[in-house]
Each structure stands twice: as structure tokens, then as C-alpha cells.
């Protein structure tokens, strides 16, 4: 929400336990319970407010479990003992912040020597949100997005979207957005395929001021997808807004039979969204409170209920179901929007379910078969039901029955006299101007078998995708008779950046390797490479021997930064060809001290649970612009600045150097008498930008031939602004970057 209150936030947590009878009892199958978790936390930005993030860990066995929690972009590493009789809270570092679109340092990893149930909570003032992470063994490679439209005010535009996080294997992503989305300088529409290569434990965030519900995410390796909205009003137009967060279940775990219970103390009822991953999906309701609907692939339908109703329905194809609390002014004048995934009946937990209550938590129990007596429900071994003083029957009919109850603080076990009963537990809380909800535990069995091809096949013979520091070309094997890495090569045959999937072959080349050719002309840079087909695949049906492909970018759009590796960035050189200067290479490198002996940008490996990049310490903020050229040349620094993300054109920036001048005495531009192609830059300390605890550094530099330097290149600080036309008439400016740099 955006409304401020001085009243204490009062939380009431409610659990919804759904019980059904099944003829089989599943054992040791994928669920929300596990011992290895990797996920990203989406942007929780709220204007002029800082947030706190924490995870809650519960032992599944009732025995003490040792767990290690780490986060990306920091040296946070916390080893804890999770007791068997209560929930353990662990506060995450404030540096775990991600705003905007791009690669983000928002990854959390949890590993334990026993099974855990994990929940994430985010708070900022009266704003709150929560979700249930999925263990890595329960992840998939096909997801459909469910979220809500973010709020737009006169002076503030909130964003909503999702994060996609890879495990240790990395992942090639292919995304079709439901709305037009901007990534860098490129717009992607619903008919475009956005591709992105994630390294190990990297997280890509896509944020938009539009509702991205129905976007489809596919990958060649399992990934975690968490959707989030910085602030949404539910339904649209009803005050106030609040965070919305939830981890999406893979498409192969979606089901066809659902039960939805009302929220306790929310007489204004709720909002329901049903999202269809497949064509020709029919939603058929058993109750009279909603009309049947028909949906096609990636479409969704929203139901706004005004009465305290319980629903049951089925679908002809698997669907994603989301339930939302309404805003404060919907009529209850308590709580605020929250979002929760409603798992299908097929994924309810079998047998006894253990959970931990933190403060007299309320419990809602739904029984879906009239042949099951409510008196069969057991809490901690004691029968509860219609006549129990702490429980109240809310609904009882031929379809289902609903009870509300209360659990005292501590560990509890919920079961039924029938050992094959299946439960669904949903936790939700309401306070003054606040609300949150999340599923406590559910199965993630494979209910749907996808086609053998998880990725989008290009609709034409080939497709070229341009990234910030690399490019790729995807071939349809039905058009080009290539089936493996021996069938086609790049300019440099030793480059083996080849991904083979059923029906496609993809080759990727960084801009600074694989003999990629670079041509600079005016404000643009062109990167090109050539596919060379092996003799044995050149046939009358496919006579092509060579296929050239290229990407173009303006100078400002080239960051010179390679993708993250294990949570860190390795700077790559900006390699150019110039008619006067010849071949040259530029890079901005951070060093550990003024001896320029060791680069701090060296990779630390790709193990999330290894050593992450430590924050910059006093005396270590030493950088250098390095030039390698085939002719005698000098390099000069025109300007440097920092941004909260890798985008050099981000409007949120802090200037360090302007027109060759340090902005104050905390910054120093040096010079090497031995090598004019080496320009050291010292920065005493970096200032945070807003709430961000890391920055990226960018510099615009000018390169001149040795004999040009005195006449045309600026060799010293000029306090008057320079004539840009004059400078560009002699030599172009180049933008190079490095980061992230931790702000202490």
C-alpha cells in the first residue's frame, strides 16, 4: 500500500486445510518440501521506503536440521540449526535489492542436511508480501506467468513482472511476453521470442508497468520463476495497493480440479484468476456463483466475487489458479491485496501434515467429500469438528465443508482418521492496511507430459538474437540439415558454444571471441560472424555453405560486460576496428590496490555456496582504463558515472568525472608515464543510489593516435563544457563498464 499509518501492524495468520479421500497414498514425491532451494526475490520497491526480507525455516521431520543460507552479490553466508519444534527466522541482507529489468543480484540459496519447509516474507512499513519457494528437485522448464496489473500514480509508476533464476547448470531462456516489453533498446511483442542465456545461479528480472499475466517462459534446464508486483490494487481501482509475490509451479504440475475457500475476516470476498497454458480450455463450475468460461493458450479470466463464497470447479486442460485478497477499502477496512497460488486437488498432501504456528494462528479446514465426517479431523492426535469449542463450521454441503479454528504457538500435526486423506495448507494474514498469503505445502507431481521440445522453434529457417555482450543464431533443423556441433561452426572452429535441442541448433558467440568481426561507423557498431556448414550436410536440399549474421548497436548501448558467473561479472573488452586506429581493445578493470597487480574481477567460480564477491574496502577502489591497439595511440577519460544496474543510460546515476574533471577531491585520474594507453582512476568511496547497495561504473573514453593527441585529444581537465561536435569530428567516444561494486 501507499497509505501511511502510525498504528501497530496486527497480524492474524489463517491456515486453510483441505481434506479429500484418495485411494492411493503417495510417498516421497516432489513437493514444496526439500533440502536444496535456489530462487530470486522480485523487486519490492516502494517510494521512499526500505524493506526487510527474511526466510522462515521449519524442519519437516521434527528433528534438528543444519541449513546454510547464502545470497548473491554479497558475502552473506549464514549457517543455522533449525530446531524440530519451532520455526526459525533468518533475516536476509539489505543488499538483496533488485529494481528494473536485467540481470539482478537477488538470488537466495538454501541447502540443508534434512528436509525443510521454507517461506519468504517481505515488509516495508505496512506493506507486506510472502511466498513459498520450491526446492530445486521440484522445478521445471515450462512456466506460465500469473500476476496483477501494477499501480500507476501521477508521480509514481510501479512495476510488476517476474524473475527467472538458474541452478548450477545455467539455462537458455525463451520467453513470449503477453504485452510489449522493452529490454535494452529492443521492444518484444507477444509474437516475438526473447532469448537469454543464464549462467549458474544467475537471475534475470523482467519488470513492466503492464500486466504480464499469460507470458510463457521455457528453458532447456530447470529454473525457478517468482512473480511479483511492487504495488497493485485489487481489484483495479480499489485502495490501497500492496506487494504481491508468489513462486510459479511448473506447467507439468498444473491440474484440473480445484477448491477455493474464502478468506477469514474478509466479508468483501476475493478475486480469482484462472490462466490457461493450452488452447481449448473449458472451466466448468459446480457452484452457482460463477459462469463457465472458455480460454485459449496464455489467456486468463478474472472473477470478482462480492459474497463470502466457497467454489469448486474443474477444467478440461491444466490451468494455473490464483486467489487475491481485496484492498482495504473494498468494504472490510482491514487487510490489503495479497496473492496466493491455489494448487489443484491432485497435488494435495497425503497423510499427516506437520506445521509450525507462530502466534495463535487460525486454521480453515475444508472437507470435500460429504462421506467424510468433520469429526474425523485430528489436530495433535485429538479429534476436532462440529462440536469442538475452538472450531466453527463455515460451509457444509454436498460438495465440501469448511471450518475455522485456532492453533496455539508451536509445532502441530494435522491429520484425519482416514490415513489416505489429502490436505492443502494455505497461510494468510491480515492487519491494518496489510495482507499476505502463501501455500504452506503441496505436492508437485508430474501431471502433464510436455512435448519432447520444451523450447519455441523458430517460425522461419533461422533467427538471430542480440544480447548486451553476445549474439546467437538458432537454426531449424528441418530447414538446415544440421543436428550437432560437428555439422556447423563459427569463424573460429574451436568455438563450441553450441546448444542442441530436438528440432533446433543454437550457436552463441560473445562479441569479443570466436573471431567475431567488429566494424565501427559513426554512432553504430556492427558485430558479425559466419556459420560454416560441414561438407557432409551440404546437399541439393540444403546447398548453403555459409551463412553470415550480425548485430548492430549504438556506442552508448555497448556495456562491455559479460554475463554474471556465480553472482559476479567479468568485464570483457570492447573490440573495435577503425580505419585510422586499426584494431583496438578497451576495458575498464577494477584492481585490489594501487599496485595494479590483481584484478578483483577475476572469476570466483560458479558455486553459489562458495565465496561470493566481497564488498569494496577502503583503499581498494582502484580502476584502470586499458587500451590495446595495433598502432601508437593514447586513451583519455572524458566522463565516468555510476548507476544501480548495468544499463549505462540509466537515469538514476551519480557523476564521478565530467569533461575530464574529477567532481571532487575524493576522485583522482592518474596517468602512466610508461604507457599512455593505461589510465588509472582512484575513487575513495562510492555513494549509494537510492536504496541500492551496489553500483556499476561506466566511463566514456576517447582514443587518439599518438601524433593526434596534442592537437585533437583533451589531455587535461577543462572546466568549460567541451564542444561535442569538435570532439566527435576527430575521434569517437566509447563507453566501457564494470560492476557490480558493493557500497559499504
Top mean-pLDDT range of 238-247, 490-499, 621-630, 702-711: 238-247
- Asked whether residue 245 carries a pLDDT value surpassing 80, the answer given is yes
- Asked whether residue 733 carries a pLDDT value surpassing 80, the answer given is no
Contact status, residue 84 vs residue 59, Cβ threshold 8 Å:
yes
Q: What is the pLDDT of residue 730?
A: 41
Contact status, residue 19 vs residue 352, Cβ threshold 8 Å:
no
pTM, to two decimals: 0.65
Contact status, residue 210 vs residue 149, Cβ threshold 8 Å:
yes
pLDDT in tens, 520-575: 666 667 788 888 888 776 655 555 677 778 877 654 443 332 222 222 233 444 55
Stretch 280-285: mean pLDDT: 96
Q: What is the pLDDT of residue 624?
A: 75
Q: What is the pLDDT of residue 676?
A: 60
Contact status, residue 550 vs residue 516, Cβ threshold 8 Å:
no
Q: How confident is the model at residue 421 (pLDDT cuts 50, 70, 90)?
A: confident
- Asked whether residue 334 carries a pLDDT value surpassing 60, the answer given is yes
Contact status, residue 499 vs residue 172, Cβ threshold 8 Å:
yes
Q: What is the pLDDT of residue 482?
A: 73
Long-range contacts, stretch 328-334, CB < 8 angstroms, 24+ apart: 328/1, 328/3, 328/239, 328/240, 328/433, 329/238, 329/239, 329/240, 330/235, 330/238, 330/268, 331/267, 331/268, 332/265, 332/266, 332/267, 332/268, 334/265, 334/266, 334/430, 334/431, 334/432
Q: What is the pLDDT of residue 661?
A: 87
Cα–Cα distance for residue pair 415/361, rounded to 1 Å:
17
Structural domain spans, the chain:
12-441, 462-555, 560-742
User: 462-555 and 560-742: same fold?
Assistant: yes
Report which of residues 134 and 354 the model is more confident about. Answer: 134
Q: Which fold has domain 560-742?
A: Immunoglobulin-like (2.60.40)
Q: Per mean pLDDT, which range of 440-444, 618-622, 700-704, 707-711 is the poorest?
A: 707-711
- Domain 462-555 sits in CATH 2.60.40.3210: yes
Cα–Cα distance for residue pair 186/465, rounded to 1 Å:
11
How far lies 74's CA from each of 37, 92, 323, 698, 739, in Å? 18, 11, 35, 21, 13
Q: How confident is the model at residue 324 (pLDDT cuts 50, 70, 90)?
A: very high
Contact status, residue 172 vs residue 563, Cβ threshold 8 Å:
no
Which distant-in-sequence residues (6+ apart) come within 8 Å of 157 by Cβ? 150, 209
| Coil, helix or strand at residue 675 | coil
Q: What is the pLDDT of residue 690?
A: 64
- Asked whether residue 14 carries a pLDDT value surpassing 60, the answer given is no
- Asked whether residue 605 carries a pLDDT value surpassing 50, the answer given is no
Q: How confident is the model at residue 649 (pLDDT cuts 50, 70, 90)?
A: confident
Neighbours of 22 (CB within 10 A): 14
Residue pointed to by grid coordinates 563507453: 735
pLDDT in tens, 139-176: 999 999 999 999 988 777 889 999 999 998 888 898 99
Cα–Cα distance for residue pair 618/596, rounded to 1 Å:
16
Look at residues 466, 472, 498 and name the one whose alpha carbon lies nearest to residue 485: 498
Cα–Cα distance for residue pair 587/589, rounded to 1 Å:
6
pLDDT in tens, 66-106: 999 999 877 789 999 999 888 899 999 877 877 888 888 89
Rounded to 5 degrees, φ, ψ at 220 are: -90, -10
Amino acid at each position: 500500500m501507499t497509505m501511511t499509518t502510525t498504528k501497530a501492524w496486527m497480524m492474524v495468520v489463517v491456515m486453510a486445510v483441505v481434506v479429500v479421500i484418495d485411494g492411493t497414498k503417495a510417498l516421497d514425491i516432489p513437493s514444496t518440501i526439500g533440502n536444496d532451494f535456489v530462487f530470486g526475490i522480485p523487486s519490492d520497491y516502494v517510494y521512499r521506503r526500505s524493506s526487510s526480507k527474511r526466510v522462515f525455516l521449519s524442519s519437516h521431520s521434527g528433528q534438528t536440521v543444519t541449513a546454510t543460507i547464502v545470497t548473491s552479490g554479497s558475502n552473506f553466508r549464514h549457517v543455522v540449526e533449525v530446531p524440530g519444534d519451532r520455526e526459525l527466522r533468518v533475516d536476509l541482507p539489505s543488499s538483496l535489492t533488485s529494481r528494473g529489468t536485467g540481470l539482478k543480484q537477488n538470488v537466495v540459496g538454501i541447502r540443508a542436511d534434512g528436509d525443510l519447509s521454507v517461506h519468504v516474507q517481505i515488509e516495508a512499513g505496512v506493506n507486506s508480501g510472502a511466498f513459498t519457494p520450491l526446492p530445486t528437485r521440484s522445478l521445471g522448464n515450462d512456466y506460465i506467468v500469473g500476476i496483477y496489473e501494477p499501480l500507476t500514480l501521477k508521480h509514481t509508476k510501479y512495476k510488476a513482472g517476474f524473475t527467472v533464476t538458474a541452478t548450477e547448470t545455467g539455462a537458455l531462456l525463451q520467453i513470449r511476453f503477453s504485452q510489449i516489453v522493452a529490454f535494452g533498446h529492443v521492444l518484444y511483442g507477444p509474437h516475438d521470442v526473447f532469448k537469454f542465456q543464464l549462467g549458474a545461479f544467475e537471475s534475470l528480472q523482467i519488470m513492466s508497468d503492464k500486466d504480464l499475466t499469460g507470458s510463457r517462459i521455457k528453458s532447456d534446464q530447470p529454473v525457478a520463476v517468482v512473480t511479483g508486483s511492487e504495488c497493485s490494487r485489487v481489484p483495479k481501482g480499489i485502495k490501497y495497493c500492496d506487494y504481491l509475490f508468489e513462486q510459479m509451479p511448473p506447467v507439468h504440475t498444473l491440474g484440473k480440479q480445484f477448491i477455493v475457500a474464502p478468506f477469514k475476516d474478509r466479508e468483501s470476498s476475493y478475486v480469482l484468476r484462472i490462466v490457461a497454458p493450452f488452447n481449448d480450455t473449458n472451466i466448468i463450475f459446480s457452484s452457482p456463483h460463477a459462469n463457465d468460461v472458455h480460454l485459449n493458450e496464455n489467456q486468463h479470466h478474472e472473477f470478482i466475487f462480492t459474497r463470502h463464497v466457497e467454489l469448486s470447479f474443474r477444467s478440461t486442460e491444466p490451468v494455473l489458479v490464483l486467489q487475491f485478497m481485496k484492498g482495504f477499502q473494498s468494504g472490510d477496512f482491514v487487510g490489503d491485496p495479497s496473492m496466493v497460488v491455489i494448487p489443484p486437488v491432485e497435488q494435495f498432501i497425503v497423510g499427516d501434515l506437520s506445521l509450525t504456528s507462530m502466534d495463535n494462528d487460525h486454521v480453515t479446514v475444508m472437507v470435500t467429500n460429504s462421506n467424510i465426517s468433520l469429526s474425523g479431523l485430528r489436530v495433535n492426535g485429538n479429534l476436532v469438528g462440529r462440536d469442538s469449542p475452538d472450531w466453527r463450521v463455515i460451509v457444509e454441503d454436498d460438495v465440501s465443508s469448511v471450518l475455522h479454528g485456532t492453533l496455539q504457538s508451536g509445532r502441530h500435526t494435522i491429520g484425519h482418521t482416514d490415513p489416505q486423506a489429502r490436505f492443502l495448507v494455505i497461510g494468510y494474514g491480515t492487519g491494518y492496511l496489510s495482507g499476505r498469503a502463501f501455500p504452506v505445502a503441496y505436492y508437485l507431481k508430474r501431471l502433464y507430459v510436455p512435448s519432447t521440445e520444451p523450447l519455441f522453434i523458430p517460425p522461419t529457417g533461422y533467427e538471430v538474437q542480440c544480447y548486451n555482450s553476445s549474439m546467437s543464431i538458432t537454426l531449424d533443423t528441418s530447414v538446415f540439415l544440421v543436428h550437432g556441433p560437428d555439422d556447423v561452426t563459427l569463424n573460429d572452429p574451436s568455438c563450441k558454444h553450441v546448444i542442441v535441442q530436438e528440432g533446433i541448433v543454437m550457436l552463441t558467440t560473445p562479441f569479443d571471441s570466436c573471431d567475431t568481426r567488429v566494424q565501427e561507423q559513426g554512432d553504430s557498431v556492427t558485430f558479425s560472424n559466419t556459420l560454416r556448414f560441414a561438407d557432409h550436410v551440404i546437399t541439393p536440399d540444403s546447398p548453403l555453405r555459409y551463412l553470415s549474421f550480425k548485430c548492430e548497436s549504438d556506442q552508448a548501448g555497448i556495456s562491455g560486460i559479460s554475463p554474471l558467473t556465480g553472482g559476479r561479472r567479468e568485464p570483457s573488452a570492447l573490440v573495435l576496428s577503425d580505419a585510422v586506429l586499426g584494431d583496438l581493445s578497451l576495458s575498464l578493470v577494477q584492481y585490489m590496490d594501487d599496485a595494479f597487480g590483481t584484478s578483483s574481477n577475476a572469476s570466483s567460480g560458479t558455486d553459489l555456496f562458495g565465496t561470493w564477491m566481497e564488498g569494496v574496502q577502503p583503499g581498494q577502489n582502484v580502476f584502470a582504463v586499458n587500451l590495446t591497439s595495433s598502432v601508437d595511440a593514447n586513451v583519455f577519460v572524458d566522463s565516468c558515472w555510476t548507476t544501480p544496474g548495468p544499463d549505462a543510460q540509466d537515469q538514476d546515476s551519480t557523476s564521478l568525472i565530467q569533461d575530464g574533471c574529477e567532481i571532487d577531491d575524493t576522485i583522482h585520474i592518474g596517468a602512466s608515464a610508461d604507457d599512455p594507453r593505461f589510465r588509472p582512476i582512484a575513487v575513495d568511496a562510492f555513494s549509494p543510489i537510492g536504496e541500492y547497495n551496489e553500483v556499476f561504473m561506466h566511463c566514456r573514453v576517447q582514443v587518439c593516435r599518438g601524433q593526434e593527441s596534442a592537437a585533437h585529444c583533451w589531455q587535461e581537465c577543462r572546466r568549460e563544457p567541451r564542444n561535442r561536435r569538435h570532439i566527435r569530428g576527430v575521434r569517437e567516444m566509447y563507453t566501457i563498464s564494470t560492476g557490480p561494486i558493493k557500497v559499504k
